[in-house]
């Protein structure tokens, strides 16, 4: 039987488009020092480190070793885990597995990216199969744009419906001084007037490119309770990868990997009615249309009901299920850190450390990760020890 595990602290950088004042190692160190301070421990208390980022983004392929001065990994067990967009939830889940196994008591998970150092598209096309899809369907935007246009056609959703999601996340970022888009709210008109990249995706429908890092401390039961007053316990996690062939995806059945991951995680956690059972959700929504379609896969509303559910304000601060109090991925996207930020922000909500972005009385929180060809991770946290 696995040990119970809790998050006992989190740290993140103040995310920016360009952090030219620090190199990657130094940027990682900022997040690590903040996570250690938040957990009221030092690096000597950490038994192992899991670190991850996007392959090819900074042109450093042995990140685990290269980063030790920044991560604190000198003479410690450290390994790299990288799974594309889901890297952040993968390092979190791997850290959880490490502690749950009983072999390590306190494990540090780190996600980071210096997006300013790379040609993001050139790096991201290397996730497509080199013989097949790379030449006829490359980069992040085509697959997302195709999904969005298929969703609009299926359910009659509009570009304005999607813009509402971007406006929500950018409005929430007003409360998060760490967000890249802190204090830069937008309107639906701004989104509609921004330049068309690939129909129906416009510039303000998509996430920015960000330099940033995040670090989270995981601790075992018996230790976590003594470290902080209200640890954020891992209630359940689930991981689903579907196909690697973009042509094999059936868009009309919804976001399949997220449906399956959610089903498993909800069953293990006893979640029956997500909109009521969760108090807050930090979702990996890299573009606005995901905030309509993917919340259906998560069971917050039925198929095709995303636009109305969001439009009625249910997902705003003060709504029945506030989504992305941090401002979400549309406000900050340091890719290797992005999914770990979802877990960190969900934990911050449980621990009650959200300051201006805090949702009142959070007992159960949902975090998700998204990657590559429609992969999904789901993490459920709770304030009550499971």
Partner 1 sequence: MAAWLQDVEDLTLKGQINVPYTWSVGEVGSRFLVALRDEEKILGNRCPSCNTVYVPPRKNCGSCFKDIDDNQWAELGPEGVVTAFTIVRYDYPLQPAKAPFAYAIIKLDGADVGFVHLIRQGLEKLRNGVRVKALFKEERTGHILDIDSFVLLEA
**Positions that interact with partner 1 (CB under 8 A):** 20-21, 59, 121-122, 125, 130-133, 135-139, 141-142, 145-150, 153, 195-201, 243, 245-249, 251
Indicate the residue among 12 and 118 with the shorter CB distance to partner 1: 118
The residue (of 37 and 122) whose beta carbon lies closer to partner 1 is: 122
Distance set, CA 130 to CA 127, 254, 372, 375 (Å): 8, 27, 14, 19
Shortest distance, position 364 Cβ to partner 1, whole Å: 33
CB of 117 to partner 1, least distance (A): 8
To the nearest whole angstrom, how small is the minimum distance from the Cβ of residue 281 to partner 1?
27
Which of 73/200 has CB closer to partner 1? 200
Query: How far, in Å, CA of 46 to CA of 53, rounded?
Result: 20
CB of 335 to partner 1, least distance (A): 18
Task: Please list, in sequence order, all residues whose beta carbon lies within 8 angstroms of the beta carbon of residue 290, skipping any fewer than 6 positions away.
Answer: 144, 165, 283, 370
Structure token pair of residue 198: 């690939």
* Cβ proximity to partner 1, 52 vs 200, nearer residue: 200
Q: How many whole angstroms separate alpha carbon 62 and alpha carbon 346?
A: 29
CB of 337 to partner 1, least distance (A): 21
If the CB atoms of residues 249 and 323 are measured against partner 1, the closer one turns out to be 249
Question: Quick check: helix, strand or coil at residue 367?
Answer: strand
* 96, HSE (Cβ side, Cα atoms, 13 Å): 22
User: What are the angstrom distances between the C-alpha of 349 and each of 27, 85, 110, 137, 339?
Assistant: 24, 23, 19, 39, 16
Q: Decide: residue 336, CB within 10 A, 0-12 exposed, 13-18 middle, 19+ buried.
A: buried
Supply the minimum distance, in Å, between the C-beta of residue 255 and partner 1.
Answer: 14
Alpha carbon of 56 to those of 19, 21, 123, 274, 333: distances in Å?
A: 19, 22, 5, 37, 16
Residue 249 or 285 with smaller CB distance to partner 1: 249
CB of 102: closest distance to partner 1 in angstroms?
A: 32
- Under a CB-based contact definition with an 8 Å cutoff, are residues 323 and 164 in contact? no
- Listed residue (241, 238, 234, 282) closest to 263, CA to CA: 238
- d(CA 178, CA 159) in angstroms, rounded, equals 29
> Would you say 94 or 290 has its CB closer to partner 1?
290
């Amino acid at each position: 039987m696995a040990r119970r595990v809790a998050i006992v602290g989190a740290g993140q950088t103040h995310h920016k488009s360009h952090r030219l004042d620090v190199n990657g190692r130094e940027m990682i160190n900022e997040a690590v020092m903040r996570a250690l301070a938040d957990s009221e421990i030092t690096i000597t208390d950490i038994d192992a480190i899991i670190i991850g980022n996007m392959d090819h983004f900074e042109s450093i392929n042995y990140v685990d070793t290269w980063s030790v001065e920044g991560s604190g990994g000198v003479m410690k067990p450290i390994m790299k885990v990288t799974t594309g967009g889901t890297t952040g939830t993968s390092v979190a889940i791997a850290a959880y597995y490490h502690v749950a196994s009983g072999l390590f008591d306190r494990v540090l998970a780190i996600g980071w990216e210096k997006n300013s150092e790379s040609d993001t598209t050139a790096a991201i096309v290397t996730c497509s199969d080199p013989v097949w899809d790379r030449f006829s369907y490359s980069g992040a935007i085509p697959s997302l744009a195709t999904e969005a246009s298929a969703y609009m056609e299926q359910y009659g959703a509009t570009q304005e419906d999607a813009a509402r999601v971007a406006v929500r996340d950018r409005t929430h970022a007003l409360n998060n001084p760490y967000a890249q888009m802190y204090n830069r709210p937008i309107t639906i008109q701004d989104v509609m007037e921004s330049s068309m990249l690939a129909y129906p995706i416009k510039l303000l429908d998509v996430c920015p490119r960000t330099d940033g890092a995040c670090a989270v401390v995981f601790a075992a039961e018996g230790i976590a309770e003594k470290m902080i007053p209200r640890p954020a316990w891992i209630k359940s996690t689930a991981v689903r990868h579907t196909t690697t062939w973009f042509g094999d995806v059936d868009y009309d059945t919804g976001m399949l990997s997220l449906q399956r991951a959610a089903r498993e995680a909800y069953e293990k956690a006893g979640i029956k009615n997500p909109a009521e059972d969760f108090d807050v959700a930090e979702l990996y929504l890299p573009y606005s249309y995901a905030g309509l379609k993917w919340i259906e896969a998560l069971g917050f509303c039925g198929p095709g009901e995303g636009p109305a559910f969001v439009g009625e304000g249910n997902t705003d601060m003060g709504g029945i299920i506030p989504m992305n109090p941090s401002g979400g991925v549309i406000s900050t996207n340091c890719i290797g850190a992005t999914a770990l930020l979802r877990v960190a922000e969900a934990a911050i909500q449980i621990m009650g450390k959200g300051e201006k972005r805090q949702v009142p009385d959070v007992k159960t929180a949902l975090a998700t990760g998204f990657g590559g060809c429609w992969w999904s991770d789901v993490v459920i946290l709770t304030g009550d020890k499971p």
